[in-house]
Amino acid sequence: MSRGRFAIGRTSALLALTALAGCGDADTLTPPGGGSATVVLVSGGDQRAIGGRPPAEPIVVRVHDASGRAAAGVTVSFTPAPGNGSADPISTASDGNGEAVTTWTLGSSALGRQTLTVSAGASSVTVGAEAIDLEAELDALFAPASAAEVEVVRADWAGRDVSAAQVSVELTEEMALGPSTATLRIVSHVVAGVRHFGAIIVPAGAEPESLPVLMYAHGGDSGVSVDDLQFVALSLGELSTRFMYVVPSFRSEPLRYGGRTWVSEGPSGHWDQDIDDALALVNVAFESTPEARPGTFSILGGSRGAGVALLAGVRDPRVDRIVAFFGPTDFFDDWIRVIAWKTALDGPWDLPGLIHLDSTLIKPLVRGGISIPEARLGLVRRSSVLFAADLPAVQLHHGTADFTVPVSQAESLIRTMEALGRASPDFEAFIYEGGGHDFLSLTGAIPRAVEFITQTLTGEGAPRR
């Protein structure tokens, strides 16, 4: 009688040990029966992936001997259920740690739950995964945004703190600005718990409260140089000394000047936390710069920076004018859907913001880390077109041969503004035949932008809607 109790107790202990070694990932464990090997799942269970594609993680199992120790050299077989794809390899020997690994490519036709049986001798474990229909997922993701979703995003924005906090001056230095000189301050401040760096440039000799504030919002993913502002000053010519300038870096990216670099903290936040960083820097500028004309400011932005400018104009009623060059406006556009489709299948390529979108939205959606409603809000909060009624005066520039941000982005905002009855001088849009993703390829754009932005020098802001 005592021998039977001992045998039962040992079997129960072995099953508990193997379940623990599987880290809770095992779906079904078949006891070893008369065999000496027991196989448990280590990782890779319950994943979500596109049908016909492998999940993100390989399937890893461990083989134990009758004493619960890792067993090397045991043959492990991987067998998908009928229609549930293929495994590579289908059979292998456990290594010195008792582990065996395979890549499971899910079946493309049997969408929903699929299974893979992993066997070692008489022991087996069943691994489950969910095969998704990518087109169906994208249909749901890119369905038109609802008024309720827009209001959820508005409420989120209203709760964000972009006040000037824990401000520190990192550098004060005289610099050239077009035909004149200016005082440069590199400042840091804290936004949402992370330290952000930006530049504030004030032309020499300015009187208190005399200079309208102009923000330059940069494009790309590699940060910004203070020297980039020289292009703006050159474009403005002799009028360059009649503005003060604010140049934000964005989270996780560098601000460069004179061989020195300051890197803003925190993970990247393209077209979302970017606006928090920029608005907080403007608040620092207003509070710390006597020469700043209070009340309003304008923004000039290109590419990513144009998207930031438009969204900042929606969020902050102090924004007077925006000049936006070839920036994104509508993340529900078919162009974004194609990007999401290609990225889900093949990973991101070299396109500004795409690595961020892939890591925070596309991959998590495919893998089940976020829901479709959560992902849709990520698109809403990046789509200024959904908030077009709240935009200040805007001048838009885009080329028809732009292969970085297609002209469909400008066209989406144009259609929306026209439907709202927004027209010149409140809204101006210029489409340049053959123009690319380059200021200089848009013939006549710079003089138009200068004329538009310098209207702020009269001190009469454009009417807000």
Q: What is the pLDDT of residue 12?
A: 40
Angstrom distance (rounded) from CA 225 to CA 248: 10
Task: Report whether pLDDT(3) > 80.
Answer: no
Do 196 and 190 contact (CB within 8 A), yes or no? yes
Do 102 and 89 contact (CB within 8 A), yes or no? yes
* Among 112, 94, 116, residue whose Cα is nearest residue 103: 116
Q: What is the pLDDT of residue 179?
A: 83
Q: What is the pLDDT of residue 186?
A: 98
Helix axes 134-141, 372-380, angle to 10 degrees: 50
Cβ-based neighbour number of residue 259 at 10 Å: 5
Q: Which amino acid is at 335?
A: W
Task: Report whether pLDDT(49) > 90.
Answer: yes
Mean pLDDT of 420-436: 97
pLDDT digits (tens, 9 = 90+) for 312-343: 999 999 999 999 999 999 999 999 999 999 99
* Among 465, 375, 366, residue whose Cα is nearest residue 417: 465
Q: What is the pLDDT of residue 460?
A: 54
Mean pLDDT of 45-66: 96
Task: Report whether pLDDT(16) > 50.
Answer: no
Q: What phi, psi does 96 have (nearest 5°)? A: -65, -20
Q: What is the pLDDT of residue 100?
A: 98
Do 385 and 422 contact (CB within 8 A), yes or no? no
Angstrom distance (rounded) from CA 14 to CA 9: 9
Do 392 and 462 contact (CB within 8 A), yes or no? yes
Angstrom distance (rounded) from CA 427 to CA 445: 15
Share of the chain above pLDDT 70, in %: 91
Do 384 and 310 contact (CB within 8 A), yes or no? yes
- The model's confidence at residue 411, banded by pLDDT at 50, 70 and 90, is very high
Which tokens belong to 125? 């474990």
What is the DSSP code (8-state) at residue 66? T
Task: Report whether pLDDT(29) > 50.
Answer: no
- The model's confidence at residue 55, banded by pLDDT at 50, 70 and 90, is very high
Q: What is the pLDDT of residue 459?
A: 60
Do 49 and 106 contact (CB within 8 A), yes or no? yes
Specify the range with the lowest mean pLDDT, choosing from 22-31, 71-80, 82-91, 384-393. 22-31
User: What value does the mean pLDDT of the chain take?
Assistant: 91
Which tokens belong to 165? 């906090």
Task: Report whether pLDDT(21) > 60.
Answer: no
Do 354 and 304 contact (CB within 8 A), yes or no? no
| CA neighbours closer than 13 Å in the CB half-sphere of residue 143 | 10
Q: What is the pLDDT of residue 120?
A: 95
Q: What is the pLDDT of residue 352?
A: 87
Find the length of the chain. Answer: 465
Q: Torsion over CA of 447, 452, 457 and 463, rounded to 10 degrees?
A: 180
- The model's confidence at residue 17, banded by pLDDT at 50, 70 and 90, is very low
Task: Report whether pLDDT(7) > 90.
Answer: no
- Whole-model pTM? 0.87
Mean pLDDT of 334-354: 93
pLDDT digits (tens, 9 = 90+) for 94-118: 999 999 999 999 999 889 999 999 9
- Residue 329's contacts (CB-CB under 8 Å, 6 or more residues apart) are 307, 310, 383, 384, 385, 409, 410, 412, 413
Cα separations (Å) of 424 from 122, 300, 323, 429?
Answer: 78, 18, 14, 9
- DSSP codes, 138-174: HHHHTSPPPHHHHHHHHHHHHT---S--S-EEEEEEE
- DSSP codes, 296-354: EEEEEEETHHHHHHHHHHHH-TTEEEEEEES----TTSHHHHHHHHHHHHH---S-TTH
Task: Report whether pLDDT(18) > 50.
Answer: no
Helical H segments across 56-190, by residue range = 134-141, 147-158
Q: Write down the residue that tokens 């493309």 correspond to.
A: 108
Cβ-based neighbour number of residue 384 at 10 Å: 32
- The model's confidence at residue 30, banded by pLDDT at 50, 70 and 90, is very low
Q: What is the pLDDT of residue 25?
A: 39
Specify the range with the lowest mean pLDDT, choosing from 71-75, 272-276, 349-353. 349-353
pLDDT digits (tens, 9 = 90+) for 213-254: 999 999 999 999 999 999 999 999 999 999 999 999 999 999
Mean pLDDT of 15-23: 37
Share of the chain above pLDDT 90, in %: 88
Q: What is the pLDDT of residue 86?
A: 97
pLDDT digits (tens, 9 = 90+) for 162-207: 999 999 999 999 999 988 999 999 999 999 999 999 999 999 999 9
Task: Report whether pLDDT(260) > 50.
Answer: yes
Specify the range with the lowest mean pLDDT, choosing from 4-8, 123-127, 174-178, 402-406. 4-8
Mean pLDDT of 46-57: 96
Q: What is the set of domains in the chain, with CATH numbers?
A: 2-131 (2.60.40.10), 163-331+382-458 (3.40.50.1820)
Q: What is the pLDDT of residue 34?
A: 39
Largest interatomic CA distance in the chain: 102
Q: What is the pLDDT of residue 15?
A: 35
* Among 342, 345, 336, 417, residue whose Cα is nearest residue 382: 336
- The model's confidence at residue 11, banded by pLDDT at 50, 70 and 90, is very low
Q: Torsion over CA of 347, 349, 351 and 357, rounded to 10 degrees?
A: 20
- The model's confidence at residue 32, banded by pLDDT at 50, 70 and 90, is very low
